[in-house]
Amino acid sequence: MATAAQADPGRPARRKRRTMSPDDRRAALLKGATEVFRRKGIAAATVAELAEAGEVAKGTFYLYFDSKDHLLGALWEEYVDGFLRDTRAMLDEGGAWWPSLDRLIRSMIEHAVRNADLHRLVYRSANAKALELCHASNQRVVDLMSDFVARGTLVGAFHARDTRLACRMIFHAADGLLDDLISLDEPIDLEEVTAAVLELAHRGLGAPHLD
């Protein structure tokens, strides 16, 4: 009699469950979910498959995530956390306002392109609930950028009718552009995209050389 793995060659063999700490178990679920979502898509993936890929029982899955949409939101939050960690470390180094903003924008674009597969998963397959969770994580990036620009505005580094609104516009323009380019499954000219976003930021926030 054929096993499940033999019946479905594309399905990974069942892995023996091992003892893990709660943090390690959650990390294993996130890692396993990435494999399952890429192979089957979000809609077709089942909680049972996600639990198996994470090497836990199906009941254990619900100790960590309410649903597969919640798990997808957690994957996106992990992605956002990585960007925020790098960005906060960069901003903590200090430096002039405009070079720091340029580095922040460049880092955001590079991080998105490195994680293109996750972008495609979310925006091609996710339902409204999953997208809501992802947008909530994105707001943390918007807030970080807006707070930085607001501080720079107080000392005269940035100029606009409303620099917080301008910053939000720049973020969402860049985010929309990246999602559009990533969805095409074609090579992305990182330098050209970065230059275009930086030009928008410089015009929108009144870079000195444009005065």
The domain defined by 68-210 folds into Tetracycline Repressor; domain 2 (1.10.357)
Identify whether the C-beta of residue 51 lies closer than 8 Å to the C-beta of residue 139: no
**pLDDT recorded at residue 87:** 87
Q: Which CATH superfamily is domain 12-64 in?
A: Homeodomain-like (1.10.10.60)
This prediction has a pTM of: 0.75
Least confident of 22-31, 84-93, 115-124, 161-170: 115-124
> 126: which DSSP letter?
-
Domain ranges of the chain: 12-64, 68-210
Q: Which residue has the higher pLDDT, 199 or 34?
A: 199
> Can you tell me the distance from the alpha carbon of 141 to that of 122, in angstroms, rounded to the nearest whole number?
17
How far CA 93 is from CA of 52, 90, 106, 152, in Å, comes to 43, 5, 16, 15
> Can you tell me the distance from the alpha carbon of 8 to that of 159, in angstroms, rounded to the nearest whole number?
59
**pLDDT recorded at residue 11:** 55
How far CA 54 is from CA of 28, 68, 146, 209, in Å, comes to 5, 13, 37, 52
What average pLDDT does range 153-174 have in this prediction?
95
**pLDDT recorded at residue 90:** 84
Scan for tokens 């077709």, then name that residue.
Answer: 44
**pLDDT recorded at residue 147:** 94
**pLDDT recorded at residue 188:** 92
